[in-house]
Amino acid sequence: MDPSEYNPQPENTSATELDPKLRDKIEALARNNHDVWARARINEGWKYGPERNDDRKEHPGLVPYEQLTEPEKEMDRRTVVQALKVAVKLGLDIHPANEPKRADCKEAHHLPVDDMDAWPPWPKGLGSTIAELDKAVNAIGCTYQAANKSAAINLFLHRAVALIIAVAGTYAVLMAILQLYGFTSGVEVTEGAELAFAFAAGAAVVVGLFAGFMRKWLVRRHRAERCRFLKFDFLLDVALTGRDPARLETSAHTFENQAYNLGVLEFDQMELWLEEEQVLRNPPVAPQNETAIADVRLLAEHYLRTRLAVQSRYFYKQSGRNTRWNLQSQNLAPMLFAASICFALIHFAISKWWHQYAGNTRFLILLAAVLPVLGAGIRAIRGIWEYSRNTLRFTAKYNALRELIADLETELRTQTSSHAIVRLLWKGEQILEGEHREWLRLMMETEWIG
């Protein structure tokens, strides 16, 4: 065949999907792809040179994978991704092996997927130590799942009770005012509705007082968030041990016990935690050897995708939602109160200077009495979701994480030292822990039943 007539026809893999769990493996495969190429070149007598020279067998690409430019790394990534997709298309079933076990707690599969479900693969060569690491993973996962599920249930119940109190209570008071001014003409249906809504509001108050849904929600949410912090501390500790089996087993036992302790944390312990001011701690020192650098970089890439990116998207979404609802409702209650004052002044003016119309001003008094009640109901509903408290907080945290993500991406592209990377990872957890403390303190200050 004439080489000039050669027409490459690679497999079309545009519709082929890889197991999402393989994403954590792509970087390692790309690094191996580069090492295979580099080893073959070196065996052929090639060496590093600032520019390619075939006569002297010098090539600028004969450097560690971490020192490649981002386009060169991306070429290796595309190569391994294409190879994996072709293998899948040809019928091979490819799934990652030796990854940490996910929590096997009862009903775990019913829970929503979030960043706590994503764990990076353990470093190679750990042998039986992996079993101890998996126990710690399972303990953290079980504690988180139980707390997260319970938090969601108690949040729903808290908001349901609060809405019943706000809506039913507002309706009952409005009906009482209407009857006071004779606008219901004593209709039995209206009186029955007033009684039903007043009873519903009263019952909701009693339920809220004795059930304590809000306190339970805050405690469970706190447990779940502390599990997130525990997960990162655990992963960073694993990355910094230099793959020492004895240190890894000690670390696994420590974090396993901490996970179980979080599972029984209660309200008084949460209050003690909040009474402590957050002290910015110095990050641990990363050992400067090839193993530690490689493990820290793998952790940083995983953390960037599954922690910072997830949290950043959450804050962005919540910032937009809270801003929109806050702008739509923040002025309603003050405007209703101002309108109530205006109607009261109009009634006074008519009674003072236009006596001939004084007999027809009953509705002005009614409006002056009704509008503040509606405003109070709106304030109560706004208080349930805390729009005004959360809007700027979400926006500020999103901006902080966006800047951190940019710094970490730059560091991963340009540096091989693990010190700066560990410092940025540590900074990320400091930001998120500070956000959780701020949110929890705001929620503790809210004036709601339960």
Which long-range CB contacts under 8 A does 170-175 form with residues at least 24 apart?
Answer: 170/373, 170/374, 170/376, 170/377, 170/380, 171/197, 172/197, 172/198, 172/201, 173/373, 174/370, 174/373, 174/374
Structural domains of the chain, count? 2
Domain contains 97: no
Domain contains 35: yes
Asked whether residue 196 falls in the same domain as residue 286, the answer is: yes
Neighbours of 146 (CB within 10 A): 21
Domain contains 161: yes
Neighbours of 382 (CB within 10 A): 19
Which candidate, 300, 307, 295, 297, places its Cα nearest to that of 122?
295
Asked whether residue 186 falls in the same domain as residue 72, the answer is: no
Residue 174 to residue 266: CA distance in whole angstroms: 40
Asked whether residue 236 falls in the same domain as residue 160, the answer is: yes
Q: Please report the pLDDT score of residue 355 as a whole number.
A: 67
Q: Please report the pLDDT score of residue 1 as a whole number.
A: 56
Asked whether residue 40 falls in the same domain as residue 138, the answer is: no
Q: Which two tokens stand for residue 235?
A: 């992963």
Asked whether residue 51 falls in the same domain as residue 164, the answer is: no
Positive or negative, the CA dihedral 316, 317, 322, 324 is positive
The dihedral region occupied by 185, where left means phi > 0, alpha psi between -120 and 50, and beta the remainder, is left
H-state helical runs in 212-282: 213-240, 245-262, 267-275
DSSP state of 340: H
Residues in the chain: 450
Asked whether residue 416 falls in the same domain as residue 297, the answer is: yes
∠ CA 104-109-114 to the nearest 5 degrees?
A: 95
- Amino acid identity for residue 272 in this structure: L
Asked whether residue 45 falls in the same domain as residue 164, the answer is: no
Domain contains 242: yes
* Residue after which a domain boundary falls, among 39, 74, 89: 89
Asked whether residue 256 falls in the same domain as residue 376, the answer is: yes
DSSP state of 305: I
The CATH number given to whatever domain includes residue 29 is: 1.10.490.160
Distances in whole angstroms, Cα of residue 345 to Cα of each of 174, 180, 351, 352:
21, 20, 10, 10
Q: Please report the pLDDT score of residue 185 as a whole number.
A: 52
Enclosing H/E stretch for 141: helix 129-180
Q: Please report the pLDDT score of residue 306 as a whole number.
A: 87
User: What pTM was computed for the model?
Assistant: 0.68
Asked whether residue 142 falls in the same domain as residue 85, the answer is: no
Structural domain of 43: 18-89
Asked whether residue 38 falls in the same domain as residue 133, the answer is: no
User: How many CA atoms are closer than 13 Å to the CA of 208, on its beta-carbon side?
Assistant: 22
Asked whether residue 82 falls in the same domain as residue 135, the answer is: no
Domain contains 96: no
* Residue after which a domain boundary falls, among 26, 60, 89: 89
Which long-range CB contacts under 8 A does 12-21 form with residues at least 24 apart?
Answer: 13/82, 13/85, 13/86, 13/89, 16/85, 16/86, 16/88, 16/89, 17/88, 18/81, 18/84, 18/85, 18/88, 18/94, 19/94, 19/95, 19/96, 21/95, 21/96, 21/99
Domain contains 7: no
Domain contains 116: no
Domain contains 13: no
Neighbours of 254 (CB within 10 A): 14
Q: Please report the pLDDT score of residue 448 as a whole number.
A: 72
* Residue after which a domain boundary falls, among 36, 62, 89: 89
Asked whether residue 325 falls in the same domain as residue 187, the answer is: yes
Residue 48 to residue 60: CA distance in whole angstroms: 6
Q: Which residues is 59 bridged to in the sheet?
A: 48
Digits of tens for pLDDT over the chain (450 positions)? 566 676 777 777 766 777 656 666 787 788 888 888 888 888 888 888 888 888 888 888 888 887 888 788 888 888 888 888 778 777 777 766 554 444 455 444 343 346 788 888 887 777 778 888 989 999 999 999 999 999 999 999 988 888 888 888 888 888 877 777 666 554 454 667 777 888 888 898 898 889 889 999 999 999 999 999 999 999 999 888 878 888 888 999 999 999 999 999 999 999 999 988 877 778 888 777 777 788 888 899 899 988 998 899 888 888 887 777 777 777 888 888 888 888 888 878 887 777 666 566 777 888 888 888 888 888 877 777 776 667 788 888 999 999 999 999 998 888 667 888 999 999 999 999 999 999 898 888 876 775
Q: Please report the pLDDT score of residue 400 as a whole number.
A: 93
* pLDDT tens profile 217-241: 999 999 999 999 999 999 999 888 8
